[in-house]
Amino acid sequence: MKDTTIKTLDDNEKNAVAALMDLGQDRKTSHVIMFLLGNQNATAKEIEMGTGLAQPEVSVGAMDLIESGWIKVSSINGAKGRPKRMYSISISKEEIIQAWKSVADSKCEAEKKKVEKLRSLLI
């Protein structure tokens, strides 16, 4: 049997997962993106082992990220069975920060419009 070491999320990465969740990112998606940021690419099994997510959670989190263009998936053919899926990061840390900053800015603008509407109704 081949002995392999799977990196797990460190405390800083776990705090980043919590920060992403505070911003509104799904738990599964937050774990997958942080694991891939630390590893560049990984199989679903490696993500599962490194994050503590169950296999279906990894698949759901990865699909959300694929749809948003944050990760890519490719197939690796092994000797037996189904091809494994290899997930790789396709967005930088700065792009993630910028994406969430844009979301926050939009929310802030929407809230300002609500206050202005209230102001116009009251004054």
Domain ranges, ordered by start, for the chain: 1-91, 92-123
- The correct answer on CATH 1.10.10.10 for the domain covering 1-91 is yes
**For 82, how many CA atoms within 13 A lie in the half-sphere containing its CB?**
6
Confidence of residue 84 (pLDDT cuts 50, 70, 90): confident
pLDDT(2) > 70: no
Question: Which tens digit of pLDDT belongs to each residue from 96-110?
Answer: 999 999 999 999 999
Section 58-85 average pLDDT: 87
Residue 49 near residue 91 (C-beta atoms within 8 A)? no
Q: What are phi and psi of 8, to 5 degrees?
A: -105, 165
Quick one: pLDDT at residue 83?
76
Question: Which tens digit of pLDDT belongs to each residue from 12-66?
Answer: 999 999 999 999 999 999 999 999 999 989 999 999 999 999 999 999 999 999 9
Quick one: pLDDT at residue 34?
95
Cα–Cα dist 55/40, whole Å: 19
